[in-house]
Amino acid sequence: IMRTKGISNGHSEATYRRWLRSWTERNYHIWIFHREGAKAWNDKCAMYIERDYNLINVGDIIVADGHNLNFEIINPWTGKPQNHMTLILFYDMKSNYPLGWEIMPTENTQSISVALRRAILRLGKTPKVVYLDNGRAFKAKFFQGSPSFDEAGYAGLYERLGCQTIFAWPYHGQSKTIERFFGSLSELERMCPTYTGTSIENKPPRMMRGEKLHRAVHEKAFGGRCLTLAEAHLLIAAWFDAYAQRPQRGHLDGTCPNEVFLEGRGPGVDKGELAWLMMSIEIKTLHRNGLTFQGKHYYHPALYGRREKVTIRFDLQDPGS
């Protein structure tokens, strides 16, 4: 470039490279920002916040996020293998203990509701704070409420349970402690016969172009076997149990998550009350057949002759009433 612009060049290329290395060591933040962008600067140069885990107890803060599983599972609705089903997990920040989870073809309100209910039952008490991902399903009105609900005197699920919510910074994996756990979960994914890799570059040999021998060996070993949804649940539960027994570094300082969790676990919750609090809420208008919800009529003699708006509660897992 200097030669093209007619600038006098009295040094060798090695001299310029040596000067650049020296300059970069003193101005690393400028180098990274201009070469790799703002996100790289945030990840590599910006000061980070340190959490003091001594200030919280088990169940004070639970972290929720979704993770695309890197192995195929039989989709019970289609009967065909599906890759990247979503694992919704609630995870205790103090003990690093996996509390409640659900597996669904896509991240949705129903799977989050099921995972949260299981987490509260396992925890034995209602958490004070729920630390959430920025996904659309986590911000659904079933969880957060809406202006019309607030006007009617109803709030979202978290508020009804008495939980405060914190949303993680978007595109900032460091703010979610559960991301490190999902990194460890790849150990389980690699053990599955239908493992598909964490990226295009890390696909197993049988999925590479032209690898007929690998495909033949895999087919002979497993015969096209694919895990069902129930088997995937059992496999994940077994791995979670094993993970909770491992001594860990960091704020656990050599203890295992199970020990810390059992010391701070709550006395238990009323399952009936929890089911009532976690029911979804919608506003419907009565008509001559009672009310219509999801294509079905719900009727009671006490509703006859009324045409007002009413609030209905329903359990996503039990739509019979």
All residues at 6 or more sequence positions from 113 whose CB lies less than 8 Å from its CB, including other chains: 142, 157, 278, 280, 316
Condensed to tens digits (0 to 9), the pLDDT of residues 40-65 reads 998 889 888 888 888 999 999 999 88
Q: At 81, which amino acid appears?
A: P
Q: Work out the percent of the chain whose per-residue pLDDT is above 70.
A: 89
Q: At 200, which amino acid appears?
A: I
Condensed to tens digits (0 to 9), the pLDDT of residues 78-127 reads 888 888 888 989 999 999 999 999 888 876 777 788 888 889 999 999 99
Residue 110: how many CB atoms within 10 A of its CB?
A: 15
Give the pLDDT confidence score for residue 4 in this predicted structure.
86
